[in-house]
Chain A
């Protein structure tokens, strides 16, 4: 007997063929990557067709893959200042490039089927467009409205067809998209009250950046690829 997840994977491959790409998972979860032009068509089918029945959109999550797989431990020179390791000293210049790396931004959708009791994850890369843009799924799952607003606010990814794409979590008048990896953790501006001017003013941040625990990636043979229970083939 095959389990529900394998059965779903087979149905997915049979129905969508080359449109969707299964991603290997170590956690017994189904993940598919698809082209952003196919998103609406695939999502509509996933919701409407009885084989899938994903009537709920659980979550929409933006991801910025800019620093994926890089660590902060490797340095070229010995450092005398303890906390400087892993700190980017150069000021961050906001990306003015015409094109992004096509794998940089992604939008991840978590779907849930209540009738079939199964979950599915879809990932769409936004491609090279600047600003990044994908189609909105609000018409398919109305609950996507705020989730997409959040992704727009935090990552600057636009959603075509969204009825009301405004910032949601950040302050009124906020500049930038704070969850992008090139946005510093302490922000770009700080707020203080200026007694002379009698109002609140914005100034560049004065906090020294420091990293208490550097980011490291260690090769752990316990997790090496040949020992993994990678479920690629259904």
Chain B
């Protein structure tokens, strides 16, 4: 029999398990990976360069399109960096709204991850379950910003508007009965906060359901336990952040250690893994969903009791109210200047990092005093994680590559920028 030699195989970029457009060049000996060389950049849109040619506020929408499954967290990083340079105070209510939506976003992201990760390594049902709950959270996005994904809701100085008093409802359709329609709309009668509160009551049972399917599942464990083990020292050396770092047992969470917005007021725990394998990272993320749910609940309670402004009153940075513009010359001028020229940001540089669902999402802005940033650098967590791909899959089987892509929670919008 001829001796089997190592050979090179191409994986992606159009592969359903490549989570978008990842091209991997794999060196394989039999079915064992010797080396993986990820080729990225197929989704590179030059976000940072585009941001240099636009006034500050016009780039918020680009941030949604970076990591397109955790939109508002990206926006949060960007507006924090601008606020740091401007030195504006954000109203407390806006900070709580931001925390609430950051956590809603975290659940959105982790559900997407859990569904896709499950689907990749053979748990079809997970995908359907996760998208059921995602739908409700997307509706919260829609209620507050008018779009289900690319919200552009956070603005320097606060959030664009206060939480709405009504939720969008399902319309009549010949595909569903009156009874079915009433059932679907039954939780949508009240304000958005009522809807979110109802969600937080339902959600822990849903997480239990996911765990029933996966946590003790023999196949799930065979595919994840002891796969891609990363030691804590190695994780730090490679620049891992977020669940990838916590999965390896390092207790590091920016929400606790360097709190921003209203996180210092929140009561929650940081889940930490022990072995640093795919299974531990799975457990960490599932527990994070439960913790996020706790935070959302606290925010809902606070937001109910504390009405107030949601955006700073400084009209050099935030638009004046429409009604004020009707009879106030100064407001009209402010509005005109803001939407034609934008605002000038004082010279300097700032780096703002948020605990994004995938890890540390940082935005580094250099301003030379103009109405456009001089340089914007986006530090995406997935970029650092993917660079460790080769090390993580080395010595594993071909099928484990898919498990590793899944566990890294790669989204190409942010890796390629």
Looking at the assembled complex, report how far the CB atom of A10 sits from the nearest CB atom of chain B, in whole angstroms. 21
Given contacts A31-B349, A58-B360, A178-B46, contact A68 B374 (CB under 8 A): yes
Say which one of B208-216, B364-372, B394-402 lies at the interface with A.
Answer: B364-372
Q: In the complex, which of the residues A63, A117, A143, A223 contacts B366, with contact meaning CB atoms closer than 8 Å?
A: A63
Indicate whether A58 sits within 8 Å of B362 (C-beta atoms), given known contacts A29-B350, A213-B55, A217-B370: yes
Whether B349 and A215, one on each chain, are in contact in the complex, defined by CB atoms closer than 8 angstroms, is: no
- Of B44, B257, B347, which is within 8 A of A170 by CB? B44
What residues of A have a CB within 8 angstroms of the CB of B48 in the complex?
Answer: 179
A110, A143, A217, A228: the one contacting B362 at CB < 8 Å is A110
Which of B273-281, B323-331, B376-384 forms contacts with chain A?
B376-384
Is A56 on the interface with B (CB-CB < 8 A)?
A: yes
Of B107-115, B124-132, B144-152, B232-240, the one contacting chain A is B232-240
Residues in chain A near residue B10, CB distance under 8 A: none
Q: Are the C-beta atoms of A142 and B364 separated by less than 8 Å?
A: no
Count residues on chain A whose CB falls below 8 Å from chain B CBs.
Answer: 48
Quick check: B375 and A63 within 8 Å, CB to CB? yes
Beta-carbon nearest neighbor of B417 in chain A:
A169
Complex CA–CA separation, A147 to B387 (angstroms) = 9
A216 interface residue, CB < 8 Å from B? yes
**Once the chains bind, are A185 and B384 in contact (CB under 8 Å)?**
no
Per the CB 8 Å criterion, the residue count for chain B at the interface is: 55
Give the residues in chain A near B384, CB-CB below 8 Å: 143, 146-147
| B85 partner residues in chain A, CB cutoff 8 A | 26-27
A141/B40 in contact, CB under 8 A: no
A140, closest chain B residue (CB):
B237
- In the complex, what distance in Å separates the CA atom of A59 from the CA atom of B48? 15
Give Cα A114–Cα B241 distance, bound, in whole angstroms. 11
Whether a CB of chain B sits under 8 angstroms from the CB of A128 is no
> A77 to chain B: closest CB distance in Å?
21
**Which of B44, B362, B375 has the most A CB atoms < 10 Å from its CB?**
B375
| Partner-contacting stretch, out of B190-198, B217-225, B337-345 | B337-345
Contacts of B379 in A (CB 8 A): 58-59, 61, 110
Q: Which of B44, B348, B417 has the most CB of A within 10 A?
A: B348
Contact at B348–A27, with CB atoms within 8 Å? Answer: yes
The reply to whether B40 and A185 form a contact with Cβ atoms under 8 Å apart is: no
Question: Across the interface, which residues of A come within 8 angstroms of B258, CB to CB?
Answer: 117
Q: What mask results when residues 113 to 141 of chain A are scored 1 for a CB within 8 Å of chain B, else 0?
A: 01001010100000000000000000001
Q: In the complex, what residue of chain B is closest to A169 when comparing beta carbons?
A: B41
Contacting residues, chain B, for A110 (C-beta < 8 A): 351, 362, 364, 379
> Which positions 57-88 of chain A face chain B at CB distance < 8 Å?
57-59, 61, 63-64, 67-69, 71
Q: Is B346 an interface residue (CB 8 A)?
A: yes
Contact bitstring A9-37, B, C-beta under 8 A = 1, else 0: 00000000000000001110101000000
* Chain B positions within 8 Å of A179 at CB level: 46, 48-49
B232 CB, nearest partner CB in chain A, Å: 10
Q: Can you offer 20 A-B residue contacts whose CB atoms are under 8 A? A: A25-B348, A26-B85, A29-B351, A56-B239, A59-B351, A69-B369, A108-B377, A110-B362, A114-B236, A117-B257, A141-B237, A142-B237, A143-B239, A169-B40, A169-B416, A171-B41, A185-B50, A215-B372, A218-B344, A220-B344
